[in-house]
Amino acid sequence: AKSTEANQVPGSAAGVSLGVDTVREFRVLTNSYSAEYGRAAGGVIIAVTRSGTNQFHGSAFEFLRNSKLDARNFFDRGAPPPFKRNQFGFTLGGPIKKDQTFFFGSYEGFRQRLGVTGIATVPDAVAHQGIMSQGGVVGAPLVNVGVAPGVQPWLSLYPLPNGPNFGNGTAQYIWTAPQPTDENYFTTRVDHTFSGKHSLFARYTFDDSHRTVPRQLPFDKDVL
């Protein structure tokens, strides 16, 4: 079976940080941190989210990337494997009560369908018949050791190789399998102004991502 990874940290299983349209400003601190930032190794990034105003404002976007302009990976056989990425979202902000209470919200979705090339070492064609090099040594004479009846069903699970033969009863099998990744990012913020000196805001952020990773050795249904 395939394995599924889930991640709810800012980096996400997709390896990206979404919600750029929610950022109003940011600062990067690299040294001389004040006590409010605690211990930090390397740097501190401070991001301030956007808030609503007395006017309604919004935006919508979508980015598309696919394999049409991608280069072939060194291990890919033939054309680049299938790849399609959609990144889309919207923002909306405005007043709840003019000059006093405002809202802002955004959503960003990430959908990626990536074909990845895998390489595995499998028994070669003659090993499936119980024929191997003597002692498993490269270049040694081939001997027929046979295949035990109880082992045959398990040996048949290994696909026949399509890559270089190592000469010791094993060879490479190279295949392309799908690796889908989905992520949903949502944030909302409400600001309330009590006076020229006092204000309060509340923010909720949700970021959920999932990536299905192909197994190390595929069955036929896993191969594109």
Q: What is the pLDDT of residue 59?
A: 94
Is 80 exceeded by the pLDDT of residue 7?
no
pLDDT tens readout for residues 77-103: 777 888 899 999 999 999 999 999 999
Q: What is the structure's pLDDT at 219?
A: 63
- The pLDDT, as a whole number, for residue 4 is 41
- Confidence (pLDDT) at 40: 64
Give residue-wise pLDDT tens across range 117-170.
888 889 999 999 888 888 778 878 888 888 888 888 888 888 899 889 888 888
Look up the pTM and report it.
0.71
Q: pLDDT tens for residues 65-79?
A: 888 877 877 777 777
C-alpha span between 169 and 140 (Å, rounded): 11
At residue 3, the pLDDT reads: 40
Give Cβ neighbours of residue 48 (< 8 Å, ≥ 6 apart). 23, 24, 25, 26
pLDDT at 181 over 90: yes
pLDDT over 70 at 201, yes or no:
yes
Mean pLDDT of 106-113: 94
pLDDT in tens, 210-224: 888 887 776 655 554
Question: How many residues are there in the chain?
Answer: 224
